[in-house]
Structure 1
Amino acid sequence: MRPVGSKYLLEEPLGRGATGTVWRARQRETAGAEAAVPGQPGETVAIKVLKEELANDADVVMRFLRERSVLLRLTHPNIVRTRDLVVEGDLLALVMDLVDGPDLHRYLRESGRFTPVAASLLTAQIADALASSHADGVVHRDLKPANVLLKTDADGQMHPMLTDFGIARLADSPGLTRTHEFVGTPSYIAPESAEGRPQTSAVDVYGAGILLYELVTGRPPFAGGTALEVLHRHLSEEPRRPTTVPEPLWTVIERCLRKEPGERPSAENLARALRTVAAGIGVHSSSAQVDAALGVGALLAPDPSPAPVPETPGAADPTQVLPSNAGSFDPNAATSVLPHTGGPSGGADPTAVLPPVPPRPDGSPGGPRPEDPHPWQSQLRAARDRNEQTQVQYLDPSQDPLRRRPQRQPQRPPQQPPGAQQPYAPPQPAPPGPQQRRQPQRQQYAPQAQPQPYAPPQPPAPQQPQQPQPPAPRQPRPPRQRSSSPMRIPGLGCLKGCLVSVVMLIVAGWLIWELTPLQDWVAQGKGYWDAIGDGISTVSNWISDLGGSDPSTSEPTTPPVGQ
């Protein structure tokens, strides 16, 4: 459960909309005089918590507080009453009466469309709520089935309850609404709202006409794949009459869906016309009622004075009247005389005497001395001392309270008077420290018995041979960590390794120069392969000499080139 203010607790969410979330809540204590309905502790209410972008907008918060009295003043049997408004930090919430029932949009999906008579009577009650709010200068601007709750009475009759009054106006903030956006739902938006023209209470009448069309057909008159397509159809297309809609009822729908706001009827005339149509299209209607329903167009007169919607924040606020002489200056007017504060005899005010300065401890008179610093200098020095940076110094680890292990103080035995007899207590071995725990105990010494006072001395107990304790098991040596590279070159990456490498290269070059026939090859100018061939011939001749063969017989006879 989440508290809202000091008087309400949120229990569970009931639904989410474009402007906030509706919660089932419980009242903790009676509200104050600022609330329209004080309520009782434990009473169940509905609280709509506005979204964070609305709560974080300063213009919305100011408008929320400014229209507090307007929202709390809306009382009608078909309007969900706003009981209280909560402003707490980044939270804006409206406390309303809890209506246990579905909204009209959900009821249409579950139960299907209404009959023409039921749709007329239901819309007539909604028109009554709109007429009451328009009389107070409040325009709903977002009339749709989702904002109509169905309340069931004890006798089983359903009554529509219009909710979310003033929410659209709060959401119409310069910080949240741009020039190409509008406030409302595309399927129920009026043409003037879509075009950005000035809006009046006629936008609610247009929404009531679309609502009535949806009740009798099950769908709104204008639909499309995108919001732009829906708005285009609102601006350019005329609705078509379904075959299931009676002619008198279609006359009412057609008048409400006029493109020009000045041609639409007022909410009060709409409610009267719908009741006339409901009475004339029923099964048991009389001829007079049928004739009245057919002539319903005469009751749908345009609204002569529609309630305007303010275009700028604060436009609906009452004008502040200044005093009649505000801004005027009369040089010949009488001079304002200040009140007289003198004594009873009419003299001047008595001089205020400062309290005496107490003397110093040495007996000299109080007050500052010539050699003392000026009070301003003392204040500056105190301010400089307060703003002086912290000096960082080295701290011995033994003195650091975060590193030093706390030392336990040994408990001292209670002191007894000198003549009192002290009982014998064998010495208790001290608890082993961290270092003592690691070393095994080598020997154990038995405590020597001390003679009791006023007791005969006892012979010393024979000492038993002490058994040597087995040595403590040796802790295995942790394995040596080897480098991830299997090859280790000593001195690699340092100057020593570089010097060793250079020396090894010099020695290897000298050995190759001295022990190989490289000098002869270089001096004779032979190529690489020629030098290798000569080397092979030399080795083969050397092997032949070792075998004792005659080199003259071993050499093959080379035929002449010409043969």
Structure 2
Amino acid sequence: MRPVGSKYLLEEPLGRGATGTVWRARQRETAGAEAAVPGQPGETVAIKVLKEELANDADVVMRFLRERSVLLRLTHPNIVRVRDLVVEGDLLALVMDLIDGPDLHRYLRENGPFTPVAAALLTAQIADALAASHADGVVHRDLKPANVLLKQEGDRLHPMLTDFGIARLADSPGLTRTQEFVGTPAYVAPESAEGRPQTSAVDVYGAGILLYELVTGRPPFSGGSALEVLHQHLSAEPRRPSTVPDPLWTVIERCLRKNPDERPSAENLARGLRVVAEGIGVHASTAQIAAAENVGALLMPDPAPAPVPGSNGSSGDADPTQVLPQGAGSYDPNAATSVLPQTGGPSGPAGRSGAADPTAVMPPVPPGPPGGQAPGPEEPHPWQTQLRAARDRNEQTQVQYLDPSQDPLRRRPQRQVARPQQPPQRRPQPQQPPAGYGYPPQPQRYATPQPPAPPQPQRYAPPPAPEPQRPRREPRPPRQRSANPMRIPGLGCLKGCLFTLVILFVAGWLIWELSPLQEWIGTTKGYWDQLTDWVGSVTGWLEELGGSGTNDPAA
């Protein structure tokens, strides 16, 4: 168990995501007035502990504290309530209600797609949660099945949307860069992928993809890489499955419009989905069917969509700089920034009488390249530029035949002829600097004694004496090899054996002739005679042994 603050105790992890880990936790004591829900000791809650890279970012911590009130007041029957926020050292955590149930992603994988009526009613409840959050100025930005928890209420599934505000907390200048987005590639809106200003329409786009996945079991756009999926979001149109009714496809098609101004608001989306669910049901009346077929009239866009702070090029965290009016005791928060009067005269630097230069305003610079035109919608997006660069690199790669003689792995090494050794270069001796340029004169070896003079400070040390030269060695001539390249294996060993036998034979003859060995044996025979007798004795002994073995004992 691990304590979080002084009021909560982590018990076991429930799941991990891109921004942190969700734990099952228990409340140790009642929370203070700063918490939205005080709770009771022993109550089970869910705590999401953010990752260390988020907790170590100062901008994320400031966002966390600044949006505390927004997240705590966001309540709706289809939104997982945030009970408390914990900031302790390098730990950031959100305390939420614990929902005992699977998420929508896991439920789809285990049970398959929903019926069109069930998918429309489920998405309508999620659209209700989005409408409530958009009214408070909070945009989810990461709507996907994994962020929808299913709460079991009898035989019905009650969807609960979670992870509100996490996308904005993760969208920190220290963590994100240009042309990056916060979200999942399969559910990201085109304006988010392009880095354009974002509004609450990105959540409606995510709801359209979620609705498509509920009735088909898969998202409308997929690919082998995130770059390919983003490219489809920007340019491809979703394919209509044959099992989707016409009214429901009208809702999906309007939610997945590339232009965010053509998408319906979350409130109108919820109303339209309920009309479609009534009109495509088995017991639908004629009026309900007609209303479902005319659902496009209900899917009106939001006239004032909630903007995503910081998506239009500004940070969106701090209020604009304001200057108090002169002589006023109060100021208008919506007032424009005042401009200081110019202190310099029109006569130029000579007539300013020491005043500072007025602040000059640079002329507007066109956003396009110098001397060119401003980029239009026809120019390729950075993602398309990266795709084109990868395609060009693949086209530059060519396959051609390589001659084995040019292959460094098959080329036999050539034997190099020894070159005569070059004589070593003689190092140049330092020249004697002339006297009179700050160098002290060199002492004479044979000089007449002079009276001692007071020592003068030397600016430079005298150069060292030249080293004696060593006699130069003559280069060794290269070893001459035999012109006959024939080599007989084992010839050297045979020569050694023959030479050893000759040495042993000569040594035995000298010992026999020069030593008293003949007298010791008691014979006056010569060396060859004695050697012949020994051979004959050994041969006769061997014959006797062979004859005694073959004789019959009975004879």
The two structures have a TM-score, normalised by structure 1, of 0.58
Deviation at 1:24, TM superposition (A): 1.5
Q: Which has the larger displacement, 140-149 or 61-70?
A: 61-70
Following the alignment from structure 1 to structure 2, what is the Cα–Cα distance between the partners of residues 314 and 246? Answer: 43
Following the alignment from structure 2 to structure 1, what is the Cα–Cα distance between the partners of residues 294 and 186? Answer: 30
Runs of 5+ unmatched residues, structure 1 = 331-528, 557-563
1:63/1:314 contact within 8 Å kept: no
Summarize the alignment of residues 290-329 of structure 1 with structure 2, pairs less than 5 Å apart: 290-311=289-310, 314-319=315-320, 323-325=324-326
Q: 1:12: which partner in 2? A: 12
Deviation at 1:77, TM superposition (A): 1.4
Summarize the alignment of residues 105-504 of structure 1 with structure 2, pairs less than 5 Å apart: 105-153=105-153, 156-311=155-310, 314-319=315-320, 323-325=324-326
Following the alignment from structure 1 to structure 2, what is the Cα–Cα distance between the partners of residues 115 and 276? Answer: 16
* Alpha carbons of structure 1 residues 170 and 547: separation in structure 2 relative to 1, 3 Å: same
Following the alignment from structure 2 to structure 1, what is the Cα–Cα distance between the partners of residues 194 and 305? Answer: 19
Deviation at 1:232, TM superposition (A): 2.1
2:11/2:24 contact within 8 Å kept: yes
Q: 1:513: which partner in 2? A: none
Deviation at 1:245, TM superposition (A): 0.9
Following the alignment from structure 1 to structure 2, what is the Cα–Cα distance between the partners of residues 130 and 174? Answer: 26
Amino acid at match of 2:222: A
* Alpha carbons of structure 1 residues 535 and 59: separation in structure 2 relative to 1, 3 Å: same
Large movers: runs of 4+ above 4 Å: 316-322, 326-330, 529-541, 544-549, 553-556
Following the alignment from structure 2 to structure 1, what is the Cα–Cα distance between the partners of residues 319 and 43? Answer: 36
Q: 2:39: which partner in 1? A: 39
1:542 aligns with 2:514: yes
Q: 1:81: which partner in 2? A: 81
Following the alignment from structure 2 to structure 1, what is the Cα–Cα distance between the partners of residues 4 and 12? Answer: 13
Following the alignment from structure 1 to structure 2, what is the Cα–Cα distance between the partners of residues 161 and 531? Answer: 106
SS in 1 for 2:107: helix
Q: 1:386: which partner in 2? A: none
Deviation at 1:150, TM superposition (A): 1.6
Deviation at 1:37, TM superposition (A): 1.3
Amino acid at match of 1:129: A
Deviation at 1:177, TM superposition (A): 2.4
SS in 1 for 2:150: strand
SS in 2 for 1:102: coil
* Alpha carbons of structure 1 residues 123 and 534: separation in structure 2 relative to 1, 3 Å: closer
**1:161-214 residue CA offsets vs partner (Å, 9 max, x unmatched):** 110001111112233223354211111111122222222111101100011111
Summarize the alignment of residues 58-73 of structure 1 with structure 2, pairs less than 5 Å apart: 58-73=58-73
Q: May I ask how many residue pairs the two structures share in their alignment?
A: 358
Following the alignment from structure 2 to structure 1, what is the Cα–Cα distance between the partners of residues 527 and 317? Answer: 130
Identity over aligned residues, as a percent? 78
Following the alignment from structure 2 to structure 1, what is the Cα–Cα distance between the partners of residues 528 and 152? Answer: 131
Following the alignment from structure 1 to structure 2, what is the Cα–Cα distance between the partners of residues 128 and 90? Answer: 35
Deviation at 1:237, TM superposition (A): 1.4
SS in 1 for 2:198: coil
**1:492-542 residue CA offsets vs partner (Å, 9 max, x unmatched):** xxxxxxxxxxxxxxxxxxxxxxxxxxxxxxxxxxxxx99999988775553
Following the alignment from structure 1 to structure 2, what is the Cα–Cα distance between the partners of residues 539 and 4? Answer: 103
2:509/2:527 contact within 8 Å kept: no
**1:298-328 residue CA offsets vs partner (Å, 9 max, x unmatched):** 1112222222212368514445755433999
1:252/1:274 contact within 8 Å kept: yes
Deviation at 1:329, TM superposition (A): 10
The two structures have a TM-score, normalised by structure 2, of 0.59
Amino acid at match of 1:74: L
Deviation at 1:158, TM superposition (A): 2.6
* Alpha carbons of structure 1 residues 67 and 536: separation in structure 2 relative to 1, 3 Å: same
**1:223-251 residue CA offsets vs partner (Å, 9 max, x unmatched):** 22322222222222111111111101100
Q: 2:475: which partner in 1? A: none
Runs of 5+ unmatched residues, structure 2 = 329-337, 342-500, 530-555
Following the alignment from structure 1 to structure 2, what is the Cα–Cα distance between the partners of residues 251 and 286? Answer: 20
2:81/2:97 contact within 8 Å kept: yes
Following the alignment from structure 1 to structure 2, what is the Cα–Cα distance between the partners of residues 16 and 554? Answer: 102
Q: 2:93: which partner in 1? A: 93
* Alpha carbons of structure 1 residues 113 and 6: separation in structure 2 relative to 1, 3 Å: same
1:130/1:267 contact within 8 Å kept: yes
* Alpha carbons of structure 1 residues 542 and 2: separation in structure 2 relative to 1, 3 Å: closer
Amino acid at match of 1:121: L
Following the alignment from structure 1 to structure 2, what is the Cα–Cα distance between the partners of residues 248 and 555? Answer: 127
2:512/2:518 contact within 8 Å kept: no
- Root-mean-square deviation (Å): 3.2
* Alpha carbons of structure 1 residues 321 and 25: separation in structure 2 relative to 1, 3 Å: farther
* Alpha carbons of structure 1 residues 44 and 543: separation in structure 2 relative to 1, 3 Å: closer
* Alpha carbons of structure 1 residues 329 and 36: separation in structure 2 relative to 1, 3 Å: same
Deviation at 1:74, TM superposition (A): 0.9
SS in 1 for 2:133: helix
* Alpha carbons of structure 1 residues 56 and 537: separation in structure 2 relative to 1, 3 Å: same
1:173/1:313 contact within 8 Å kept: no
* Alpha carbons of structure 1 residues 300 and 29: separation in structure 2 relative to 1, 3 Å: same
Deviation at 1:140, TM superposition (A): 0.5
SS in 2 for 1:95: strand
**1:226-278 residue CA offsets vs partner (Å, 9 max, x unmatched):** 22222222222111111111101100000001112121111111111111211
Following the alignment from structure 2 to structure 1, what is the Cα–Cα distance between the partners of residues 206 and 198? Answer: 13
**1:317-349 residue CA offsets vs partner (Å, 9 max, x unmatched):** 44575543399999xxxxxxxxxxxxxxxxxxx
* Alpha carbons of structure 1 residues 58 and 298: separation in structure 2 relative to 1, 3 Å: same
Following the alignment from structure 1 to structure 2, what is the Cα–Cα distance between the partners of residues 185 and 328? Answer: 45
Q: 2:372: which partner in 1? A: none
2:512/2:527 contact within 8 Å kept: no
Which structure has the larger Rg? 1
Following the alignment from structure 1 to structure 2, what is the Cα–Cα distance between the partners of residues 109 and 534? Answer: 98
Amino acid at match of 2:16: R
